[in-house]
A and B are shown apart, each in its own frame.
Chain A
Amino acid sequence: MQQALSGMNSRLSSIGGSVVGAGDARTRAQLDRSITRPRVGEVSLSAFAFLFSELVQYSQKHVKGIQDLEKRLNLVGYRVGQRLLELLVFRDRGSKRDVKLLNALLFINTNVWKALFGKPADSLEKSSEHDDEYMISDNDLVVNRYISIPKEMAQLNTGAFVAGIVEAMLDGSGFPARVTAHTVPVAGFPFRTTILIKFDAKVMEREKRLADK
């Protein structure tokens, strides 16, 4: 009996061993990949679209109202942004942080967008009404590509997830801001998404001080 049991144990452990071994090989393959020069186009858009769809559905179960939902998506994006900032600053900027506001925005507009969506954003503008507001717009935001917002939720834009990413990157670079996503249709692009960035007052003060020097 004892022998039979121990025999089984060894068989079990050998199975366990092979499983762990496979995991090890996979992890090693991941680590062997170059951090600085990633292969592009690795994620299936369909797979991402389904995952994001589930993320929205899951979030919806835990919120009351549209604002709550956007906040939740923003928060998930924030966690992505924190990690992405680390990686992209290392990859594209040689670990040097942008200290000028405009450069930090350009970095998001081009580098971040390229890393996430394979192309730069369609426009980066400064608000004509408020000095502390900037807008990054995308005519066809990838996360929204397959999403139709129902009429009763017209205020919602699931780009809040991307807004969260942008917010984390600005926060992490020392430019705290409030970032939100809005649907702003323009001729030819009825589903254009604008990421609205409103910087903290202290950021604007500092920019002004630096400009005066």
Chain B
Amino acid sequence: MILGVWIINKAGGLVFQRDFTTGSNAEPALAKLSTNDYLVLAGTFHGVHAITSRISPMAGSTGIEVLETDTFTATCHQTPTGIKIVLFTDPNQANTEALVRHVYNLYADYVMKNPFYTPEMPVRCELFDVHLFKLVQTVNPAATQA
């Protein structure tokens, strides 16, 4: 089940954040935070990612790829240009790497090919939202956009 998606720009700023819940109360959902808290957490993640990639004993580490907890898993994909896409799923979700790559695919298509998008700025592209939601629905059919 996909719980949420973040996109963090090169500088560590959060440019996209969406939560996906299933609509029913029994299903888990990410805690709702204030916009400012999201920005702080994204910045923190960016910093930790930098530590993990730079402190590595072997050169060329890609940094954090998966962050696992009892209640959720965060899968991070860093693009060659330094954009980070973080996918939050429940711990049992299989194939999260493929899913996060799929999100990257959508980002490349519907954000980067959009002439009205300025790189590094918050993502406001309707088509990206539409297609991301379609992807989420293939994983959790009862999904609603929160």
Binding site for B on A (CB under 8 A): 46, 49-50, 52-57, 60, 146-150, 153, 158, 191
Query: Within residues 94 to 146 of chain B, which ones have a CB less than 8 A from any CB in chain A?
Result: 109-110, 113-117, 124-128
- Contact A146 B116, beta carbon cutoff 8 Å: no
Choose among A55, A60, A146, A153 the residue that contacts B109 (Cβ–Cβ < 8 A).
Answer: A146
- Contact A148 B113, beta carbon cutoff 8 Å: no
Compute how far the CA of A55 lies from the CA of B115 in the bound complex, rounded to whole angstroms. Answer: 8
- Contact B116 A149, beta carbon cutoff 8 Å: yes
Compute how far the CA of A148 lies from the CA of B106 in the bound complex, rounded to whole angstroms. Answer: 13
Chain B residues, Cβ within 8 Å of A50? 113
Compute how far the CA of A105 lies from the CA of B125 in the bound complex, rounded to whole angstroms. Answer: 34
- Contact B124 A53, beta carbon cutoff 8 Å: no
A148-B127, A148-B128 known; A54 vs B116 contact (CB < 8 Å):
no
Q: Chain B interface mostly helix, strand, loop or mixed?
A: loop
Chain B residues, Cβ within 8 Å of A158? 115
Task: Give 8 nearest A-B pairs by CB, closest first.
Answer: A56-B115, A146-B113, A148-B125, A148-B126, A53-B115, A49-B113, A148-B127, A57-B115
Closest to B109 in A: A146
Q: How far is the CB of B110 from chain A (nearest CB, A)?
A: 6
Chain A residues, Cβ within 8 Å of B114? 53, 146-148
- Contact A146 B110, beta carbon cutoff 8 Å: yes
**Could you list 5 A-B pairs, sorted by A, with CB under 8 Å?**
A146-B113, A147-B113, A148-B110, A148-B126, A150-B124
Q: Which of A53, A55, A153 has the most CB of B within 10 A?
A: A53
Closest to A54 in B: B115
Q: How far is the CB of B78 from chain A (nearest CB, A)?
A: 21
Q: How far is the CB of A109 from chain B (nearest CB, A)?
A: 26
Q: How far is the CB of A179 from chain B (nearest CB, A)?
A: 21
A148-B126, A148-B127 known; A153 vs B113 contact (CB < 8 Å):
no
Q: How far is the CB of A153 from chain B (nearest CB, A)?
A: 7
- Contact B115 A60, beta carbon cutoff 8 Å: yes
Compute how far the CA of A49 lies from the CA of B128 in the bound complex, rounded to whole angstroms. Answer: 15
